[in-house]
Amino acid sequence: MDRYTIADLEKLTGIRTGTIRIWERRYRIIKPHRTDTNRRWYDDDDFKRIINISILYRHGFKISKIASMSGVEIAREVALLTRETSDTDTQLDSLVVAMTDFNEKAINDILMRAIINIGFEETFERIVFPFQRRVGVMWQTGSVDIGAEHFMSNIFRKRLIVATDSLPPPDAPDRKRVQLYLPESEWHELGLLFYAFVARKAGHDTLYLGQSTPFNAMADVAERWNADIIITGSLTGLPYDRPEDYLKRLSSVFSNRKILVAGAMATAAGKKTFDNVFAVNSAAELKKHL
């Protein structure tokens, strides 16, 4: 997207529209474009500048000082802060800027520093997934296109696959068999890949079926592989009218197995309608069930 309203900037940066207007009027820190009807609009460069300014401001830079800095100086200070800080908001803002620039190196640097500081699982729960939610807001407002979303998702996806593949083979005698899949028409697999990593790291065998798996195919595999636990979830459109109907079918077909569900289905599972179906909303909750 190359055009943002001031309301878009507030949603995407957390800076109130009134604050942005004051910065414009008092410090000339950014100069908005104007429509024929004199309404403000901002381009990608303005958007990145506002994010960088918010990072400096959050770290104690006075706005009058920032106003006197060139774009190069602002970018340099932000780069230094990003390398040195463990502040989640700064890392999220830096990821947004790197995404708009399609800067894969910067994205990997941010992820690596976070992994070193807080660990792999915490990086995904505290940075990657909140970032994905922010991208969802950006997508709804038209502030990010599908290409940028896929660009980021595939970087995160590669990280999860590599991390999972690097784990030692499960060998504990009491390990469980954990089968993971997404229902038909569900394509957002990042959360499921993360749970596959958590299950493998906990020492269990995992069988990952992935996106848009037909129910009968999933059920056939579960019987043949003799899965102990089935993990699924949903984020978007699904091939049924009510989540409860799908959970009822799962519970009935796999009455002797534990079923863990995440995302949109977790709300329905939280009602405790089915004895063997449980909502899972975090790695910690998943580990308890495993």
Residue that terminates a domain, selected from 24, 57, 83: 83
Residues 200 and 276 in one domain: yes
Residues 70 and 18 in one domain: yes
| Three-class DSSP labels, 265-288 | HHHHHCCCCCCCEEECCCHHHHHH
| Average pLDDT, integer, range 70-94 | 83
pLDDT tens-place string over residues 153-208: 999 999 999 999 999 999 999 999 999 999 988 888 999 999 999 999 999 999 99
What CATH number has the domain bearing residue 145? Answer: 1.10.1240.10
Q: Tell me, what's the pLDDT at 270?
A: 76
The reported pTM is 0.82
Q: Tell me, what's the pLDDT at 235?
A: 75
Percentage of the chain with pLDDT > 70?
95
| Average pLDDT, integer, range 279-286 | 92
Residue type, 249: R
What CATH number has the domain bearing residue 242? Answer: 3.40.50.280
Residue that terminates a domain, selected from 59, 83, 107: 83
Q: CA-to-CA distance for 64 and 28, rounded, in angstroms?
A: 10
Q: CA-to-CA distance for 134 and 151, rounded, in angstroms?
A: 15
Domain, as residue range, for 97: 85-166
User: What distances in angstroms separate CA 258 from CA 271, 274, 288, one per listed residue?
Assistant: 16, 11, 12
Q: Which of 25-39, 94-108, 235-249 has the lowest mean pLDDT?
A: 235-249
| Average pLDDT, integer, range 284-288 | 94
What CATH number has the domain bearing residue 14? Answer: 1.10.1660.10
Q: Tell me, what's the pLDDT at 100?
A: 83
Q: CA-to-CA distance for 166 and 61, rounded, in angstroms?
A: 42
Q: Tell me, what's the pLDDT at 2?
A: 66
Residues 216 and 251 in one domain: yes
Alpha helices (H) in the chain, listed in sequence order: 6-13, 17-22, 44-58, 63-67, 71-84, 88-100, 104-118, 120-123, 129-140, 146-165, 190-201, 215-225, 243-253, 264-269, 283-289
Report the domain count for the chain.
3
For the record, the structure tokens of 88 come out as 């989640």
Residue that terminates a domain, selected from 137, 166, 195: 166
Q: Tell me, what's the pLDDT at 51?
A: 86
Residues 182 and 285 in one domain: yes
